[in-house]
């Protein structure tokens, strides 16, 4: 993009990073003093500061110690950032969602050190039009780190993925990264509800775009792709940590809003033999976590609008976010990053705009909430 | 006296039905004004008083516009108005509560009829209750006991139409007057997180006590980027109907934050 605007938040982050860099120059004795003081201040406020370097370093040291005996020692930890659910309309129609997407790109570009890659969580477009996807591609091209994309239903159901695949390639793929096997799934297939009703592509897209529109089918990974997943994993040892990216949650949360994957249990069964599995999904536009057997699930934030928690089915381990302030465009939205530990599990950071960030430690989920429980919301859903 | 009260109640019911019909017309013809009664001009310098049928009227002589009647005067006027109405409607079927020993209980609407939107419930004596307990309500031929299955179906149908119209507008950015492609359902699927039961409450961002409609208007002006509705706009009324309908059964809790 020709013109680059820095948001107030971005400038603040840059200033803070400069201060933190300065602090790293201190000698050890002074450093410890600053560490103690800042930690004290942070504790007094009751905050978990994921971006503050001192606690992250302490945490990493602890993890190194804990995992050195697990056989995964020696695998370097790494980070990746995420941006999800930008829901872009054509630029001429709507600037509001463009502001959100650009703000997330600025956030991620301000990370120092840069993440290994940026995961984009799907729903780049709102109504699957080529112009919307083009705009999204332009914005994501501004990212300094490489981007790994997955597809969402808003990208797909106008032309059944034609434009998206032209631009970004196949929606299902896998790769290996620093000892972790990464799988990207297309989890938002729907059984044909349009042919019998003689719906136009635009009508089909509009129905899928309506979260509470009951005409559409439920999301599924599908037989063919589950077969692909089994084949892909056939060569991967069960001790290798898995990272799975899917747009919909690979479990059943709330059917009416497609916070749901119809064949979730079958996909979970394929992932079951693996020791450490992390599933990261978009679509739900809220802080959302779950643990089913060996699988830890994390839902990503949107940059366009937040969704309230569904009336039923919320996983009990979920640390909810405060309900969003409708008067603040950016409240309840954001981006974030994952810090992948040497054992292949990941700590997730929700970088909530206009709020304090929240870290969900992998231990919180794997211990079923017995350790590392982050603070809950003051104002839960109605 | 009781005869008169029943007559008023029956007329009142007629007025409700007329109003309900006017509602649906209002939705169809978006801008049509509400029904108003034309009171004839006074001939003898008094004040003309009209019955709720919109036709029967009489002049109260010696009463100036803006003046109040005494209680006795008011009783006299209502007696005369009702007598006039009865004279003009000799074929109107009357049920007189205390005196009519022969009146038969109207069959209670069956559960299969299903309408629960407008049926009396809770502490209001329902036809079902009346049927089970002859000592209560319905054998007296009172207003609520006179309703039939058909009445309940009509009311349910009218109410559901109104709610469905609200749902349609809620999901349609053009109907909302939106200019950037945003509609209510995008942030509020099934009208979730609209919590109509919490209004009125002090809305700190608006610096005033807000009603649900204030928040609807705020959302339409800001995220939807449209223009706030006139308070009587049928679209605003339909939106309110849809939002309230989604919270059926939720306890009212005004002022809740």
Domain map (residue ranges) of chain B: 2-103+113-149, 162-245
A274 — contact with chain B (CB < 8 Å)? no
Percent with pLDDT over 90 in chain B: 50
Is the pLDDT reported for residue B58 higher than 50? yes
Chain B, 187 to 246: residues with Cβ < 8 Å from chain A are: 187-190, 192-193, 195, 198, 205, 218-219, 222-223
List the domain boundaries for chain A. Answer: 8-65, 77-366
Q: How confident is the model at residue A25 (pLDDT cuts 50, 70, 90)?
A: low
| Mean model confidence pLDDT for chain A | 88
Measured distance CA(A144)–CA(A118) in Å, rounded = 9
In Å, how far is A39's CA from the nearest CA of chain B?
33
Measured distance CA(A298)–CA(A292) in Å, rounded = 12
Contact A303, A97 (CB under 8 A): yes
Averaged pLDDT, A52-81: 55
Determine the distance from the C-alpha atom of residue B208 to the mean position of all C-alpha atoms in its chain, rounded to a whole number.
28
The confidence score (pLDDT) of residue A5 equals 53
Name the one residue in this structure whose structure tokens are 């896998």: A174
Is the pLDDT reported for residue B82 higher than 60? yes
Kind plus residue range of the DSSP H or E element containing A203? helix A201-209
The confidence score (pLDDT) of residue A74 equals 56
Is the pLDDT reported for residue A182 higher than 90? yes
Q: Does B182 sit within 8 Å of A210, measured CB to CB?
A: no
Is the pLDDT reported for residue A31 higher than 80? no
pLDDT tens column, A136-161? 999 999 999 999 999 999 999 999 99
The confidence score (pLDDT) of residue B197 equals 97
pLDDT tens column, A282-326? 999 999 999 999 999 999 999 999 999 999 999 999 999 999 999
A-chain residues within 8 Å CB-CB of B190?
A: 212, 256-257
Any idea which of A226-235, B21-30, B233-242 has the lowest mean pLDDT? B21-30
Is the pLDDT reported for residue A33 higher than 70? no
Averaged pLDDT, B130-159: 73
Selecting from A96, A211, A306 the residue whose C-beta is nearest the C-beta of B180 gives: A96
Q: How confident is the model at residue B139 (pLDDT cuts 50, 70, 90)?
A: low
More confident residue, B36 or A209: A209
More confident residue, A340 or A12: A340
More confident residue, A255 or B35: A255
DSSP chain B: -HHHHHHHHHHHHHHHHHHHHHHHHHHHSTTPPPP---PPPPSSSSEEEE-TTSS-EEEETTPPTTPPPPHHHHHHHHHHHHHHHHHH-TT-----TTT-TTPPPPPPPPGGG---SSS--TTSPPHHHHHH-TTSGGGGT-TGGG--HHHHHHHHHHHHHHHHHHHHHHT-TTTTT-SSS--GGGTSGGGTT--GGG-SEEETTTTEEE-HHHHHHHHHHTTS---PPPTT-HHHHHHHHHHHHTTTTPPP-TT--
Question: Could you give the 3-state DSSP secondary structure of residue A10?
Answer: helix
Averaged pLDDT, A107-121: 97
C-alpha closest to that of A59 among A345, A370, A353, A281: A345
The confidence score (pLDDT) of residue B90 equals 84
B-chain residues within 8 Å CB-CB of A325?
A: 205
With 0.95 as the threshold, say if the pTM is over it. no
The confidence score (pLDDT) of residue A169 equals 97
The confidence score (pLDDT) of residue A16 equals 72
Retrieve residue A3's tokens: 């013109």
B171 — contact with chain A (CB < 8 Å)? yes
Is the pLDDT reported for residue A337 higher than 50? yes
A308 — contact with chain B (CB < 8 Å)? yes
Selecting from A89, A257, A381 the residue whose C-beta is nearest the C-beta of B193 gives: A381
Any idea which of A93-102, A171-180, A326-335, B62-71 has the lowest mean pLDDT? B62-71
Question: Could you give the 3-state DSSP secondary structure of residue A29?
Answer: helix
Percent with pLDDT over 90 in chain A: 77
What is the signed CA dihedral for A47, A298, A342, A146, rounded to 10 degrees? -100
Sequence-separated (6 or more) residues with CB below 8 Å from residue A325: A331, A332, B205
Any idea which of A49-58, A311-320, B238-247 has the lowest mean pLDDT? A49-58
What is the signed CA dihedral for A111, A49, A348, A171, rounded to 10 degrees? -30
A254 — contact with chain B (CB < 8 Å)? no
Retrieve residue A64's tokens: 């190194």
Question: Could you give the 3-state DSSP secondary structure of residue A351?
Answer: strand
More confident residue, A342 or A31: A342
Measured CA to CA in angstroms, residue B28 lies from A156, B21, B87, B178 at distances of 36, 11, 37, 21
Averaged pLDDT, B204-227: 95
Measured distance CA(A368)–CA(B237) in Å, rounded = 47
The confidence score (pLDDT) of residue A70 equals 45
Class of domain A77-366: alpha beta
Is the pLDDT reported for residue A371 higher than 50? yes
Retrieve residue A1's tokens: 């993009």
Any idea which of A335-339, B93-97, B142-146, B219-223 has the lowest mean pLDDT? B93-97
Q: Does B182 sit within 8 Å of A307, measured CB to CB?
A: no
pLDDT tens column, A184-227? 999 999 999 999 999 999 999 999 999 999 999 999 999 999 99
The confidence score (pLDDT) of residue B12 equals 46
Averaged pLDDT, A1-9: 50
Is the pLDDT reported for residue A49 higher than 50? no
Any idea which of A238-247, B48-57, B225-234 has the lowest mean pLDDT? B48-57
Note the residue count of chain A.
382
Determine the distance from the C-alpha atom of residue A273 to the mean position of all C-alpha atoms in its chain, rounded to a whole number.
24
DSSP A102-169: HHHHHHHHT-SSPPSEEEE-S--BSS--HHHHHHHHHHHTT-SS-EEE---HHHHTTTTTHHHHHHH-
Retrieve residue A203's tokens: 């009508």
The confidence score (pLDDT) of residue B113 equals 42
Selecting from B186, B198, B222 the residue whose C-beta is nearest the C-beta of A305 gives: B186
Is the pLDDT reported for residue A47 higher than 60? no
Is the pLDDT reported for residue A73 higher than 60? no
B194 burial type by CB count under 10 A (0-12 exposed, 13-18 middle, 19+ buried) = buried
Percent with pLDDT over 70 in chain B: 68
A277-281 and A295-299: which strand pairing?
Answer: parallel
Q: How confident is the model at residue A32 (pLDDT cuts 50, 70, 90)?
A: low
Contact A233, A174 (CB under 8 A): no
Fold classification of B162-245 is Cytochrome Bc1 Complex; Chain D, domain 2 (1.10.760)
Averaged pLDDT, A110-119: 97
The confidence score (pLDDT) of residue A377 equals 87
Averaged pLDDT, B236-252: 97
Is the pLDDT reported for residue B134 higher than 90? no
Percent with pLDDT over 70 in chain A: 82
Selecting from B180, B182, B193 the residue whose C-beta is nearest the C-beta of A308 gives: B193
A215 — contact with chain B (CB < 8 Å)? no
Averaged pLDDT, A364-376: 93
Retrieve residue A321's tokens: 């976010």
B164 burial type by CB count under 10 A (0-12 exposed, 13-18 middle, 19+ buried) = middle
Averaged pLDDT, A54-80: 54
The confidence score (pLDDT) of residue B142 equals 72
Any idea which of A46-55, A273-282, B79-88, B163-172 has the lowest mean pLDDT? A46-55
Terminal-residue alpha carbon distance, chain A: 41
A-chain residues within 8 Å CB-CB of B246?
A: none
The confidence score (pLDDT) of residue B244 equals 97
Q: How confident is the model at residue B95 (pLDDT cuts 50, 70, 90)?
A: low
More confident residue, A249 or B40: A249
More confident residue, B190 or A20: B190
Any idea which of A134-138, A359-363, A371-375, B196-200 has the lowest mean pLDDT? A371-375
């Amino acid at each position: 993009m020709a013109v680059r605007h820095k948001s107030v938040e971005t400038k603040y982050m840059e200033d803070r990073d400069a201060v933190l860099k300065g602090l790293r120059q201190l000698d050890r004795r002074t450093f410890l003093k600053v560490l103690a003081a800042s930690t004290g201040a942070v504790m007094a406020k009751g905050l978990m500061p994921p971006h503050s370097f001192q606690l992250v370093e302490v945490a990493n040291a602890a993890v190194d110690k804990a995992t050195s005996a697990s056989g995964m020692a020696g695998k370097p930890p790494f980070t990746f950032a995420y941006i999800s659910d930008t829901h872009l309309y054509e630029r001429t129609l709507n600037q509001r969602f463009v502001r959100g997407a650009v703000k997330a790109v600025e956030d991620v570009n301000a990370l120092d050190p840069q993440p290994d890659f940026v995961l984009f969580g799907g729903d780049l477009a709102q109504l699957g039009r080529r112009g919307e996807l083009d705009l999204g591609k332009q914005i994501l091209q501004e990212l300094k780190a490489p981007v790994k994309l997955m597809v969402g239903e808003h990208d797909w159901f106008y032309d059944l993925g034609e434009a998206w695949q032209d631009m970004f390639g196949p929606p299902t793929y896998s790769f290996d990264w620093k000892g972790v096997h990464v799988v990207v799934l297309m989890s938002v297939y729907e059984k044909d509800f349009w042919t019998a009703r003689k719906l136009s592509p635009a009508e089909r897209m509009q129905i899928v775009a309506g979260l509470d529109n009951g005409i559409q089918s439920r999301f599924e990974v599908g037989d063919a792709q589950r077969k692909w997943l089994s084949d892909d994993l056939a060569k991967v040892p069960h001790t290798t940590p898995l990272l799975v990216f899917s747009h919909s949650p690979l479990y059943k949360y709330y059917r009416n809003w497609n916070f749901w994957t119809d064949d979730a249990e079958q996909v979970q069964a394929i992932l079951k033999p693996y020791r450490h599995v992390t599933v990261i999904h978009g679509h739900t536009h809220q802080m959302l976590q779950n643990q089913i057997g060996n699988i830890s699930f994390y839902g990503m934030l949107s940059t366009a609008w937040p969704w309230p928690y569904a009336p039923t089915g919320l996983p009990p381990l979920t640390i909810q976010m405060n309900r969003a302030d409708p008067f603040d465009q950016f409240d309840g939205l954001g981006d974030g990053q994952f810090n992948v530990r040497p054992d292949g599990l990941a700590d997730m950071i929700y970088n909530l705009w206009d709020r304090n960030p929240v870290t969900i430690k992998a231990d919180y989920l794997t211990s079923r909430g017995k350790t590392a429980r982050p603070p809950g919301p003051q104002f839960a859903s109605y | 006296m009781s005869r008169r009260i029943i007559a008023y109640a029956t007329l009142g019911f007629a007025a409700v039905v007329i109003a309900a019909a006017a509602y649906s017309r209002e939705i169809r013809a978006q801008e049509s004004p509400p029904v108003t009664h034309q009171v004839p001009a006074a001939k003898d310098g008094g004040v003309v008083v009209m019955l709720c049928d919109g036709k029967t009227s009489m002049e109260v002589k010696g009463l100036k516009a803006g003046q109040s009647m005494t209680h006795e005067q008011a009783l006299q006027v209502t007696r005369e108005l009702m007598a006039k109405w009865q004279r003009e409607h000799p074929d109107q079927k009357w049920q007189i509560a205390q005196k009519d020993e022969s009146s038969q209980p109207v069959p209670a609407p069956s559960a299969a009829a299903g309408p629960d939107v407008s049926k009396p419930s809770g502490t209001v004596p329902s036809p079902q209750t009346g049927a089970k307990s002859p000592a209560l309500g319905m054998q007296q031929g009172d207003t609520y006991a006179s309703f039939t299955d058909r009445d309940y179906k009509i009311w349910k149908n009218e109410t559901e139409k109104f709610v469905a119209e609200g749902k349609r507008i809620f999901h349609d950015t053009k109907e909302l007057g939106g200019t950037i492609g945003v509609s209510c359902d995008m942030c509020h699927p099934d009208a979730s997180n609209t919590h109509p039961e919490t209004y009125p409450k002090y809305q700190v961002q608006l610096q005033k006590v807000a009603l649900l409609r204030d928040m609807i208007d705020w959302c339409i002006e800001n995220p939807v980027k449209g223009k706030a509705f006139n308070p009587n706009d049928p679209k605003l009324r339909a939106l309110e109907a849809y939002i309230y309908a989604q919270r059926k059964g939720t306890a009212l809790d005004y002022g809740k934050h």
